[in-house]
Amino acid sequence: MASLSQQLPPPPPPPTRYAVALFPGFQALDVFGPVDILNMLSKSRSLELSVLSTTPEPVCTKSGTSSHSIGQQVVPTHTFRDCPDDIEVLLVPGGTGTRDQRSVQAVVDFVRERYPKLRYLLTVCTGSVVVSMAGVLDGRRATSNKRAWDWVTSHGPAVQWVRHARWVTDGNIWTASGISAGIDMMYAFIENQYGEAVATDLAQAAEYVRNTDPNDDPFA
């Protein structure tokens, strides 16, 4: 008689095809905190990262409606329309642009269309509000930025918003709290997918002191 381990199918290999959805007024660290971990991981593994926007034009961290006096521009690799079919993990950042429906509508539409084909959906900060607009968080636990909590929870009435959390996982959706929490969530995701040794090595290479406890939230 075959043992249990022989009867189980092998676990799927960890993801290699990532995408991040940009919009005017995205928060720079919501993107580059997690993405730079992928940059480091991509030194030892072949990864793909599609940087998505509505058009091929550079996308600015400062949106027309934001109160910032400075901003930086990042160049997309693909539009939402020509995004590769086989992306496995989609990251949605937050930022002041999430307050402008016109800025994020294309992301909402893309998440609604693509979520059924994704292996994982990750959000940072008010990125969870954006994906809630696509309905994919209905009935799920999720977190978001704590300073914007009243605004956050005015969205997604069917979402179980969790205030006290550094990040929350529910099924294949991972939502991080404000800005820097995306870094801790991404290391946790790396650990979950590629193993603890890989995550620990990447954090040490980046000289980053991880918060490994999703319930340890000093900002709730």
Residue numbers of the site for a second copy (CB under 8 A)?
Answer: 18, 27-29, 31-33, 35-36, 38-39, 42-43, 45-49, 51, 58, 61-62, 66-75, 145-147, 177-181, 183, 204-209, 211, 218-219
- Cβ of residue 158: shortest distance to a second copy, in angstroms? 25
Residue with tokens 């997690």: 34
**Would you tell me how many other CB atoms lie within 10 Å of the CB of residue 40?**
15
Q: Which amino acid is at 218?
A: P
Tokens 């676990």 belong to residue:
11
The per-residue DSSP string of 4-46 comes to HHHHSPPPPPPP-EEEEE--TT--HHHHHHHHHHHHHHTTTS-
What single letter denotes the amino acid at residue 144?
S
Whichever of 49 and 83 has its CB closer to a second copy, that residue is 49
Of the residues 125, 168, 181, 202, only one is catalytic, namely: 125
Q: From the CB of 159, what's the least distance to a second copy, in Å?
A: 19
Beta carbon of residue 176, minimum distance to a second copy (angstroms, whole number): 9
Nearer to a second copy, 96 or 169 (CB): 96
Q: What do you get for the CA distance between the two ends of the chain, in Å?
A: 52
125 is catalytic: yes
Nearer to a second copy, 28 or 112 (CB): 28
Instruction: Identify which of residues 151 and 208 has a Cβ nearer to a second copy in the complex.
Output: 208
Does the CA dihedral 151-147-95-119 come out positive or negative? negative
Nearer to a second copy, 96 or 108 (CB): 96
Q: Which residues are catalytic?
A: 125
